[in-house]
Amino acid sequence: MGELDVAASSPGTDLEREKRVAAEAAAQLVEGGMMVGLGTGSTVAYLLAPLAARELDIRCVATSPETAREATRLGLEVVSFEGPGAPARLDIAIDGADQVAPSGWVVKGGGGAHTREKAVAAAADRFVVIVSSNKVVGRLSPPIPLELAEFGLAGTLLRLEHARIRDAPPSPDGGVIADYFGEFEDAEALAAWLSAAAGVVEHGLFPGSMVAEVLVGRGAQVERVRSPR
């Protein structure tokens, strides 16, 4: 792990400054000619402008309509990630997180786009997570975001027992957004159980093996943490 000196580019709360410096550091990781995955959320919002300002010859895929609209507005080229003709791999994907554990496991999905976010992360040669310092935790804890199929929803909720539907719009692909509130000790075991549960489209547990590194904003600096893959 190391530190990169990055000056805050505008005033604001400490956490907003940390999001900004982490995002600005991540923008510097992108090189011309790359295919880039863009995540969703308040931290990624700070990534788009500095990335566009570099005026690189890149193409992007976006994990939400909101990210796609803002990236396009700023002049970034956004291409579809849908269907067999879409890009099969990405050079780098950059996204935020709700929790980051020492094991490298990450919880994502506060914005309800975790199914798309996981598809983009899985396609990337290098998945970089950007967070403010409050997202770094000693161990992962509930809630764990879920996307559930509308069909058979009542039975899915009964089987999961500790899941509750979130008061939120559907996912970008029409799934029901929910959260799992059951206590757990083993993130890998919970991820496997949720993945195998009928009616669960996707969950917000991302293994450390998927994450190349985490950029953590701490004040006006960025701590760079390599994932124990």
Active site residues: 117
Give the dihedral of Cα atoms 21, 26, 32, 33; nearest 10 deg. -150
Spatial neighbors of 28 by CB under 8 A, at least 6 apart, are: none
DSSP letter at 78? B
Q: What is the DSSP letter of 136?
A: B
| Residues 61 and 120: beta-carbon distance below 8 Å | yes
Contacts of 175 (CB under 8 A, 6+ apart): 115, 147, 148, 149, 150, 201, 202
Q: Which of 77, 123, 120 is nearest to 96 (CA)?
A: 120
